[in-house]
Copies of this chain bind each other. A is one copy, B any other.
Amino acid sequence: MDVGVVIPETLEEARAHIAEALERRSWITIAALCKAWYEGRGASEATLGDRIVMVKPDGSIIVHGHRGFKPLNWQPETSAITVAIENSMLVLRALRRTPREILVLECSSVYAILIALNPEEGQFWMYVSEEEVREAIISDPSIVEEGLKIIDVEKPVEPGFVDLYARDKNGNIVVIEIKRVKAGEDAVKQLLSYVEAFRAKGIRARGILVAPSITENALKLLYLYNLEFKHVDLKKLYLSSAKRRARFKQLTDYI
């Protein structure tokens, strides 16, 4: 990646550099004192303040304030970004067609511009997604219960989809709902609706909620409806993949 830094003397100089960088579809980071307006699905206004603005080659624009993980303003994929000097201000406009929305930045000072070209992409993997938990249970159903046999995956049932549809060692139908994060009342209600769909047809069905943990209220609700909870250890599951064990050791060493 080639990185250039500009400390502009004037707004016109800043405008010229940003215009050229936009033209070349660079990855631009701007530190500036500016106001911001957004209008589209909602509407917002930010008074004069210091911001760091990032424009990516794909047209996404992100305006950060000095705190918080979330940007103050943004535009996921714009159809057009323009830069101009108006009334002695550097004005950036990012337009989006669907939904129709606009973000306007009015900069009174530009402290620095960082322009990056030809970035190395690298690759990215997410592990232990809900899908991975499901895959792990499919390949080893004993994680949930001894003697369980998976019959179907994401089976369509009246209110939606059950994550897993199985039979226990006694021949009972078992509906399994998987949550990768702590299960709340919603998850219980969802599982209940699946189980009810079977019970309504006169079929006896067990319902098991599989999650790393569950809230107290959700557990009460679960027992009330005669459903079951099965704790699953994500860390264990993650480690069960031999390929990842080495990397994990390295990470835990840090902690």
Sorting the interface of chain A by its residue count into under 10, 10 to 19, 20 to 34 or 35 or more gives: 35 or more
- A48 at interface (Cβ–Cβ under 8 A)? yes
Contacting pair A39 B248 (CB below 8 A): yes
| Residues in A64-78 with C-beta less than 8 Å from chain B | 64-69, 72, 74-77
Contacting pair B7 A5 (CB below 8 A): yes
Provide the residues of chain B in CB contact with A93, threshold 8 Å.
254
B27, B111, B250: the one within 8 Å of A66 (CB)? B27
Given A67-B58, A74-B69, are A122 and B251 neighbors across the interface (CB < 8 Å)? no
Provide the residues of chain B in CB contact with A121, threshold 8 Å.
49-50, 65-66
- A43 at interface (Cβ–Cβ under 8 A)? yes
Contacting pair B120 A49 (CB below 8 A): yes
Q: Mark A91-114, 1 if CB is under 8 A from B, else 0.
A: 001010000101010000001101
Chain B nearest CB: distance from A47 CB in Å? 5
B50, B122, B238: the one within 8 Å of A48 (CB)? B122
Contacting pair A1 B31 (CB below 8 A): yes
Residue of B nearest to A35 (CB): B122
B3, B95, B123, B127: the one within 8 Å of A49 (CB)? B123
Contacting pair A44 B251 (CB below 8 A): no
| Residues in A55-90 with C-beta less than 8 Å from chain B | 56-58, 60, 62, 64-69, 72, 74-77
- A224 at interface (Cβ–Cβ under 8 A)? no
Contacting pair B116 A47 (CB below 8 A): no
Provide the residues of chain B in CB contact with A47, threshold 8 Å.
122-124
- A242 at interface (Cβ–Cβ under 8 A)? no
Seen from chain A, the residues whose Cβ lies within 8 Å of a Cβ on chain B are 1, 3, 5, 7, 27, 29, 31, 33, 35, 37, 39, 41-52, 54, 56-58, 60, 62, 64-69, 72, 74-77, 93, 95, 100, 102, 104, 111-112, 114, 116, 119-129, 180-181, 238, 244, 247-248, 250-252, 254-255
Provide the residues of chain B in CB contact with A60, threshold 8 Å.
67-69
Chain B CB count within 10 A is highest, among A1, A75, A128, for A1
Residue of B nearest to A26 (CB): B66
Residue of B nearest to A49 (CB): B122
Contacting pair B116 A52 (CB below 8 A): yes
Provide the residues of chain B in CB contact with A41, threshold 8 Å.
181
What would 6 more interface pairs be, CB under 8 Å, given A35-B122, A50-B121, A69-B75? A42-B127, A43-B238, A44-B125, A49-B122, A49-B123, A65-B122
